[in-house]
A and B are shown apart, each in its own frame.
Chain A
């Protein structure tokens, strides 16, 4: 007990150096745990983006690529799926429902997605939650658009506002001849839907009726009234979400799509594609975890160096302790206690930094990257990491402890010239 008090007082007397060391440990611990939080948060966030969809069908490419462009709007499709194949395959008896999606146009920095009204019922996220409207409703007219929460926030849109869709992505040719009207604004979901403008599949066709080879046809534009009358069946879609009647048929349907002789198509189970993605990303994650672990090791070594260099200054202190009856073992354990106290303080401060940082950065991460990080308690793994940090501190303090153990009583008593 005396030893602990002594260690504590000794640390206090060297407040500034100790404070810096503790802070270094705290930062390294916060970094290490933060990387893990970010990793699991990103995984959960991705996994939450799509649920209750059995298969995603698109052009034959890679399963990860199809998942990324169809669900996360990352990258582009290599090919489209012809409407004929879509109708043919979704007409199969195994199919319960199918929602086509058509990507490729944009509105400002946001993607425009053509789909059917069924999307609002069928798209599920975060364990089966449905899309909710913050205002307005689904598209009623051909030129109605529904915008995600971030689109409405960033561009200040409300129900009834007109918007113009640009041809292609990052393009300046706008379909300004045919403005859309916002019929609904969606609630925030934490998924890429927040950053999407949804329009009817027919509307995507309609805005391209007067376009040919990337440019506008000469002559008068087809009036909107006429377009409403037209049969706007799309020639192709980008991908489709499919639900099966029975889970037991999911592999059978997947195989039928993958081996569809008329068109090279690919069907994926979203969960499996995501798992594949993690296997790829896993390497980078391991590297990141490794680097942050090295930072913790560096901080602990810094602490050992600090104690070691302090030994010279504390010769006298040690000698006095020895003179009043403390054995060399006691001196060694004093140093170890100090090290462990610093590491523990660093760990606690690190956790405080982590949660403070999370609370501060969360809204920004959510807005900028659509990454929703839940602030949860410490996991057993986190606690394990903290225990390891304290144990490692004890281990590295063995070096200065051994040195102090070997220092003779006379060493500190004699005044050297």
Chain B
């Protein structure tokens, strides 16, 4: 009996270790997107990510046709990078690859999920059940409605049944005159009125640089970065 008991105790101590799941959630800041640019020779790779809030204005699961259409439009818009993140004309850059997708909490940055994403694919359905739907979400963000910049950072819990979504896009560009890539215009802010800020990180052979662009100053000066 005592042996069984001790075995049980042993099993109990083991249980949390066995069922241990990874609980990691990315920081999520409404109004702020990120754009990483890596430049090597005449190749430019860009990775873009922004909260669903910035792009379509909501982060709940799209159930209405209207919301679905919004997401589809956004994904389509994100698939043409030159209209959002425009490099200097003189650099003569052309897009060789572009894909954009909507990620929900569960698959957020899941490597395998990423590979499955395709330009033609609409979006991934959120696996969360959203009973409260929009109302719940609005409540959560009620506090920042008066602010100009929605800069509330959420550290949130799986249990709360709140979800965040993010749009993600990856681009590959070829530039005929990469040395003339001195400026990046961001009509992105015109296309997505909820977007307030874009953190741009540039990595080249000359090192790495970070910039912040916002609605009032929608350009990045790339001189001296490569």
Interface residues of A (CB under 8 A from B): 51, 54, 246-252, 255-256, 259, 261-262, 264, 269-272, 275-276
In whole angstroms, what is the CA distance A249 to B47 when docked? 11
Contact partner of B40 (CB less than 8 A), chosen from A247, A270, A276, is A247
Contact of B22 among A246, A261, A270, A271 (CB under 8 A): A261
Extra contacts besides A251-B45, A251-B203 (11): CB < 8 Å: A246-B40, A247-B39, A247-B203, A248-B39, A248-B45, A250-B203, A259-B24, A271-B203, A272-B208, A275-B208, A275-B209
Query: Whole-angstrom distance between the alpha carbons of A259 and B111 in the complex?
Result: 9
Between A and B, 20 residue pairs with Cβ closer than 8 Å are A54-B203, A248-B38, A248-B40, A249-B38, A250-B38, A250-B203, A251-B36, A251-B47, A252-B47, A261-B22, A261-B24, A262-B22, A264-B24, A269-B208, A271-B203, A271-B209, A272-B208, A272-B209, A272-B210, A276-B210
Minimal Cβ-Cβ distance residue in B for A247: B40
- B179-212 CB contact bits vs A (8 Å, 1 = yes)? 0000000000000000000000101110111100
Q: How far is the CA of A256 from the CA of B38 in the complex (A)?
A: 16
A54 vs B205: C-alpha distance when bound (angstroms): 9
Contacts of A269 in B (CB 8 A): 201, 203, 208
B interface, size bucket: 20 to 34
> What residues of chain B lie closer than 8 Å to A247, measured between beta carbons?
38-40, 203-205
Task: Given A271-B207, A272-B208, A275-B209, check contact A251 B40 (CB 8 Å).
Answer: no
Residues of chain A with a CB closer than 8 A to B36's CB? 251
Residues on B lying within 8 angstroms of A by beta carbon are: 22, 24, 26, 36, 38-40, 43, 45, 47, 109, 111, 201, 203-205, 207-210
- The reply to whether B205 and A255 contact each other, CB–CB distance below 8 Å, is no
In Å, the complex CA distance between A270 and B26 comes to: 21
Q: Which chain B residues lie closer than 8 Å to A276 at the CB level?
A: 210
- The one of A249, A264, A270 in contact with B208, judged by C-beta atoms closer than 8 angstroms, is A270
Q: Which 9 A-B pairs have the closest CB atoms?
A: A271-B208, A247-B40, A251-B36, A269-B208, A271-B207, A261-B22, A248-B45, A248-B38, A272-B208
Supposing A251-B47, A251-B203 touch, asked if A259 and B209 sit within 8 A by C-beta, the answer is no
Q: List chain A residues, Cβ under 8 A from B38.
A: 247-251
- The main secondary structure of chain B at its interface with chain A is strand
Separation in Å of the B113 CB from the closest CB of chain A? 12
Judging by beta carbons under 8 Å apart, are A272 and B201 in contact? yes
Residues of A within 8 A of B204 (CB): 247
Q: CA–CA, A255 to B24, complex, Å?
A: 13
Complex contact A248–B207 (CB within 8 A)? no
Question: Chain A's nearest CB lies how many Å from the CB of B143?
Answer: 26
CB distance from A251 to the nearest CB of B (A): 4
A271 to B202, CA, bound (A): 10
Task: Select B43's contact among A51, A248, A262, beta carbons within 8 Å.
Answer: A248
- Report B22 CB to chain A, min CB distance, Å: 4
Q: Which residues of B contact A264 (CB under 8 A)?
A: 24
Closest A residue, CB atoms, query B26 = A259
- The complex places the Cα of A255 from the Cα of B209 at a distance, in Å, of 17
Which residues does chain A contribute within 8 Å of B39, judged by CB atoms?
A: 247-248
CB closest residue in chain A, given B208: A271
Shortest distance from the beta carbon of B158 to any chain A beta carbon, whole Å: 15
Q: Which B residues lie within 8 Å of A250 (CB)?
A: 38, 203
CB contact between A251 and one of B43, B201, B210 (< 8 Å): that residue = B201
Chain A residue contacts of B207, Cβ below 8 A: 51, 271
Q: Give the complex CA separation of A246 and B38 in angstroms.
A: 9
Cα–Cα, bound, A54→B22 (Å): 27
List A contacts of B22 (CB < 8 A).
261-262
Please name the residue on chain A nearest to B201 by beta carbon: A272
**CB of B95 to closest CB in A, whole Å:** 15
User: Of residues B22, B201, B207, which shows the largest number of chain A Cβ atoms within 10 Å of its Cβ?
Assistant: B207
Q: State whether B203 touches A256 (Cβ < 8 A).
A: no
Q: Which of A54, A262, A275 has the most CB of B within 10 A?
A: A275
CB distance from A43 to the nearest CB of B (A): 13
A384→B43 CA distance, assembly (Å): 41
Bound CA span A259–B114, Å: 13
